[in-house]
Chain A
Amino acid sequence: MIRAGALEKGSAILIKGEPFVVVEREFVNPGKGSAFVRLKLKSPSTGQVLRETMKTQDQVEDITVEDKECQYLYADEESYHFMDTQTYDQFEIPMKGFEDYKLLMMDGETYKVIMWEDRPLDIKIPYKVVYKVTDAPEAVKGDTVQGATKMVTIETGLKVKVPIFIKEGEMIMVNTETKEYVERVNS
């Protein structure tokens, strides 16, 4: 058991016997009241999303998980297909609840998959990742109303707001949590 206040993004807990992954966690402490934590939880198997508000002192059943290095092969309509890089076993993770990973993962890349008793629970996408810009419109001169930014598309298909000096073919670092541009990476 673990206190709800000790949970972090990516922690896995059991609710009525089913594993859930913490996808959002916000501490909330009323001026006159006990400390609480607001959790957004996702079931990796069904994609079900739960919103729970717990006292930070509440006990929750945490589960021991392990990270496994896996190669991301491709995505079909419903699932992400992975291969365990040690055993070469292939498996899939349902996309439901984790749809936005599709625009963050690159085919053929290796990612850490969070496993619980041979069940994949979540995929760990690094906090900051370097991507190639595959489509960038020419900046319109004098258009500084938007703080001199424009939308470009990166190799995964994700659209990112960047400064106007970014060109097609350049590499940029993106914050995978906020999906925001961080900086240009010089090769």
Chain B
Amino acid sequence: MNREIIKARSGINKSIRNFFTEKGYLEVETPLLSPSLIPESTIEVFETEYHSLKRKPVSLYLIPSPEVFMKQLIADGIGDIFQLTKSFRNYEQSGKYHNPEFTMLEWYTMNASAADNIPITEELFERIIHDRGKAGIFSPKIDPRHLTPPFRRMSMEELFFEKSGIDLAANLTLEVFRETARNKGYRINDADENWESVFNRIFLTEVEPFLPSDKPLIIYNYPSGIGCLAKDIPSSPWKDRWELYCSGVELANCYTEETDPQKAADLFKKEHRIKKQTSEVTPHYESVLNSIFKKSFPESSGVALGVDRLIQIFTGTDRLEGVILFPLSDILAQ
């Protein structure tokens, strides 16, 4: 492990904390272990057991993101908050941009939409660049312009069409989308190919590898076919969310947060049902759903940002393992 990288990591963490604290966000620390989680059918979680002499063992799960607890604080009216914390995803194979244990920055802005969080993210980048500039540890491998705001903004619809020639708005049903994909030569297995999976198959093959990387890129308005806790944009097939890509790497995800308890309940139910068919570990979700949506959930927008990838990009490090102290792949190889 390179000492310069450890220093860069420490410096970027400090910039993040200073930035949000000065903006009036409250730093919170929430648990890594939870007895219930927000169900996400595509995320596999780590399971463990809590033992005590007084009661039966309780299943606990390592959080795949701090959302589950931060949203309970927001529901209770805490206001703007941020957190830098470890998150865990099982079955993640160590690789260029993955480690099963990683660091997540998550922040929530009250009375805000996803669009309002774009300038805040730009300011955060400016702050990191400013602070790193002073420290004089910008990697010669990276072109600072690739990381410097203002971010480029493109809608998913326009980007998808530009790169693949596919009009997403004309492919909103699974049957039509599968047929479009087959006509382009994709091997699609009907049994386990849902809309999200056809979308990502094409996105990862024809779009993501060719994303413009001369500036950070915000892709906004994602198809509602990808279920998540972002609000629908009324009278459209899109959800009000964006993702940030830097040098072609997915770095952050932002929603205008869903506030409708019924829509959230429907999503949780659906995701849990899929999860039961596909995963060995299926935490229950009912208590989380009740805690978050027991009263009206505040209008807000949340961003989750992969800190290891951020450090990787800012230091020009080729592999994620290069910025993580004791990456799991190294520990297991010993």
Interface residues of A, Cβ cutoff 8 Å to B: 5, 26-36, 38, 51, 53, 55-59
Contact = CB atoms under 8 A, between A and B. Distances in A.
A26 B304 contact: no
Contacts of B304: 31
Contact of B192 (A32, A33, A57): A57
A23 to B, nearest CB: 15
A172 to B, nearest CB: 21
A38 B89 CA distance: 19
Contacts of A28: 95, 97, 204, 208
A49 to B, nearest CB: 14
B250 A30 contact: yes
Contacts of A34: 42, 196-197, 200
Interface string B238-262: 0000010000001001000000000
20 contacts: A5-B93, A26-B95, A26-B96, A27-B94, A27-B98, A28-B95, A28-B208, A29-B98, A31-B243, A31-B253, A32-B42, A32-B196, A32-B228, A32-B253, A33-B197, A35-B91, A38-B204, A55-B197, A55-B201, A58-B187
B226 interface: yes
A31 B255 CA distance: 13
Most chain B C-beta atoms within 10 Å of own C-beta, residue among A33, A35, A36, A53: A33
A2 to B, nearest CB: 15
What class of interface size applies to chain B in its complex with A?
20 to 34
B59 interface: no
Contacts of A58: 187, 189
B189 A36 contact: no
B286 interface: no
A32 B201 contact: no
B42 A35 contact: yes
A53 B205 contact: yes
B158 interface: no
A3 to B, nearest CB: 11
B92 A27 contact: yes
Contacts of B95: 26-28
A51 B204 CA distance: 11
